[in-house]
Amino acid sequence: MRPRAVVIGAGSAGSVLASRISAAYDVTVIEAGRSPMAGESVLDASRTWSIPAELAEGRAWRATPGRAVGGSSVVNGGYFAAPAPDDLLRWRAAGGEAWAPERVLAHIGDLAARLGVHASPQTHPISRAFADACVLQGVTGTLLPLDTTFRDGAPRSVADAFLASSPNRIEVRSNCRAMRIVVENGRAVGVDVADADGSREVLAADEIVLCAGGFGTARLLLASGLAPTPSLRRAGIDVVADLPGVGAAFSDHPTVWIEWLPTAALSEAPPHPEDVDGAFPLALYLSADGTSGDDLEVLVCTQPPDADATPYGLVVGLQRPRSRGTVSATSAHPLGAPKIAYGYLRDPEDRAAMRVGVRCAAGLLVSTAFAGVVERLVDLTDDTLGDDLLLDAWILEHLGSASHTCGTAPMGPETDPAAVVDGAGRVRGIRGLRIADASMLPVVPSRACGCRNGGRSDRRGADARLAVAQARASAMSRAFVMRRGLTGLVPSTTLPRECSFCRSA
């Protein structure tokens, strides 16, 4: 008889992982959400969780990761990029040789091919105006045309590409929620699950893999008593294993949308290819201190953020935030919402960097390059831009999150007391339990620079001015320019190509 694996979460990571291990295991995938229906809007609220959180002091928020077969891959922005070199090196340092950069990149290349990743066309008037504005304003940075998973107006679901097309039989139990991991004598032996009708059962397993996403995986660890002892005690949860790194220092990209109203000419223009091929065709990477870094991203969006709203937006993101967030338990009930504090902009350098990004993006939008596109900014005034205190208040009011939550259960070497898993995703001190999703990445990766055609890197244009000049010549689809080398973005899956789990399978 083949061993049985239970994978929790049919999202980006769970779909790939289940497909890979199904050659050696009978796999059951537990997914709290349902299968998305054909023609359903990407923005349908029933596809996401809605978890109360605090982005910064006094700034309430609802985290909305995907809750569906396909997970966040069915609700995300669909732009696809591979990790930057420093992120790759950080992963190898934390996870060992299974995370060697060439292996990770090869895996990402396979993933891109299966997902049908393709280059965003660079013909939209917003993209063109943005590139021209960078030239006009003399911005020092790197302009990068982005790849996308979009087809026919929606991102490609990783579940469709991997789970549904797996050659081996995988049982997917949708609308079914994992409540708790059952641990006996230091070994995970089963998963307590609740079906949509409320019925409960414990699914026995030889191997359990958590792929419930940055917050979902942390929630399950907390509910199962596998977390920092003080946090568990405060919530009245029995301590099964003291894992100080669970929820202790997660990171994500803070964002601010600078909204603008379109000119009549843009509103009345016929749809462009980006309308179906991806909402985020182009990004500018720059450094807050004016050097060659990539700690800030200004992302071009060619669609209004909300289908019912008129304003468009440029998205300013902090790609290498210093501030960290926490996830902790508030109650012993497995359905009790955790306390999530992103801790955004707590570090003064993060606040200063965000000011630089917002000023730069606003300067681009009001430049003459955008004259035929932007009627006016919605609520960002010169007075606000000119005063640090006013601008900080404006940023706080408009603060959002890119939903790239990482590091809620970080991997690391044995010597790292905060490490929750090793490079093969094995949870410290608990046999038969692994983690293989975004929660194990120690720090949110930056996503500067680009990866095209399946992870193939291209170091052609290392000079930002060259990039901008190329953009002005409207040759952006070939420009593919980068300053620092490879690219960085939260990868859709994090399991390395040859981890010991796959080898042992």
Ligand X SMILES: Cc1cc2nc3c(=O)[nH]c(=O)nc-3n(C[C@H](O)[C@H](O)[C@H](O)COP(=O)(O)OP(=O)(O)OC[C@H]3O[C@@H](n4cnc5c(N)ncnc54)[C@H](O)[C@@H]3O)c2cc1C
Q: Which residues in this chain contact ligand X in the complex, by CB under 6 A?
A: 8-14, 30-33, 65-68, 71-73, 75-80, 177-178, 211-213, 216, 220, 403-404, 437-438, 489-490, 492
Min separation Cβ 218 and ligand X, Å: 10
Min separation Cβ 19 and ligand X, Å: 13
| C-beta closer to ligand X: residue 36 or 461 | 36
Which residues have C-beta within 8 Å of that of residue 380, sequence separation ≥ 6? Answer: 258, 358, 362, 394
| C-beta closer to ligand X: residue 80 or 257 | 80
| C-beta closer to ligand X: residue 278 or 461 | 278
**Contact assessment for residue 427 and residue 420, using Cβ atoms and an 8 Å cutoff:** yes
- Our measurement of the distance from residue 157's CA atom to the centroid of its chain's CA atoms, rounded to an integer in Å, reads 14
Which residues have C-beta within 8 Å of that of residue 121, sequence separation ≥ 6? Answer: 272, 273, 274, 277, 281, 477
Min separation Cβ 225 and ligand X, Å: 15
| C-beta closer to ligand X: residue 367 or 401 | 401
| C-beta closer to ligand X: residue 279 or 374 | 279
**Contact assessment for residue 25 and residue 17, using Cβ atoms and an 8 Å cutoff:** no
- Our measurement of the distance from residue 307's CA atom to the centroid of its chain's CA atoms, rounded to an integer in Å, reads 22
**Contact assessment for residue 404 and residue 72, using Cβ atoms and an 8 Å cutoff:** no
Taking residue 19's Cβ as centre, other Cβ atoms within 10 Å add up to 24
Token pair 């909300």: residue = 306
| C-beta closer to ligand X: residue 192 or 416 | 192
| C-beta closer to ligand X: residue 350 or 437 | 437
Min separation Cβ 311 and ligand X, Å: 18
Residue with smallest beta-carbon separation from ligand X: 11
Q: In degrees rounded to 5, what are phi and psi of residue 486?
A: -70, 180
Min separation Cβ 236 and ligand X, Å: 20
Min separation Cβ 211 and ligand X, Å: 5
**HEC readout, 27-88:** EEEECCCECCCCCCCCCCHHHECCEEEEEECCEEEEECCECECCHHHHCCCCEECCCCHHHH
Min separation Cβ 399 and ligand X, Å: 15
| Separation between Cα atoms, residue 390 and residue 398, nearest integer Å | 12
Min separation Cβ 441 and ligand X, Å: 9
**Contact assessment for residue 88 and residue 101, using Cβ atoms and an 8 Å cutoff:** yes
| Sequence-ordered strand ranges (E) for 185-295 | 187-194, 200-204, 207-210, 226-227, 241-242, 254-262, 282-286
Distance set, CA 166 to CA 9, 27, 393 (Å): 16, 11, 50
Min separation Cβ 203 and ligand X, Å: 12
| C-beta closer to ligand X: residue 82 or 296 | 82
| Separation between Cα atoms, residue 433 and residue 420, nearest integer Å | 11
| C-beta closer to ligand X: residue 30 or 126 | 30
Min separation Cβ 50 and ligand X, Å: 12
Identify residue 272 by its one-letter amino acid code: H
The closest alpha carbon to 227, from 436, 46, 458, 435, belongs to 435
| C-beta closer to ligand X: residue 78 or 325 | 78
Identify residue 200 by its one-letter amino acid code: R
